[in-house]
Amino acid sequence: MSIEDAKKAVGKAAADLIQNDMIVGLGTGSTANYFIEALSVRARNNLFLKAVVPSSQRSHILAKRLGLPVQELNDVPYVDITVDGADEIDPLKRMIKGGGGAHVREKILAANSREMIVIVDESKLVPAVGVGKLPVEILPYGSPATRSNLEKLGYLGKWRIQEDGSFFITENDNLIYDVVFSAPPPYPQQDHEQIRLVPGVIDTGFFFNIAGRVIVGYNNGRIEIH
């Protein structure tokens, strides 16, 4: 089984957990897309959804195209379950998200849901978060100074740049500064708080105490729910 097959499998497994009359939050990214597609199949086969709430324009467009009942977070009274992927997740269910640049909205949506179900293939499992880059969303206003202040604290990285050489722009019209750790930080919660205290920083891609069930797809075809 390829990584794409594993992503498809966990997307379907998560869609199978959705029940009638739910309001469902939709994550962003390739694995979340497989969930959205599987959910639309169930919705065409007598699953009734009150609404789906996307975390990005990309998820909104896909859900709308597939005929799902899209609403915005501001317009629903609650969210039963949000299903989303992760760039990294460790045994304590600490995560890094933001590879797609939608982590601030994803965090707001997940934090205001009764449960966040995380769907990942086995390549996203890490012994401790911080193996790869940590996306930090930054206001454009004063962004060079914000970056300089982060670097003074030891948080080295790069602006996220698109293929055409322009700055990557988030769902909230901000910039992404990708911090690269020399090794996974021993106290990531402290790093998260320290980074967030820098004026100009909106939020980091660290997610703590948010994940509920985690569905993992393995290359051998096995699916596990933790």
From CA 210, how far away is CA 111, in angstroms rounded?
Answer: 6
Q: Decide if 153 contacts 120 (C-beta within 8 A).
A: no
CA distances from 154 to 124, 131, 140, 151 (A): 26, 16, 21, 5
Distances (CA, A) of 106 to 127, 146, 165, 193: 23, 23, 26, 18
Q: Cβ neighbours of residue 194 under 8 Å, at least 6 residues apart?
A: 153
Q: Which residues are catalytic?
A: 106
Using an 8 Å Cβ cutoff, are 122 and 222 in contact?
A: no
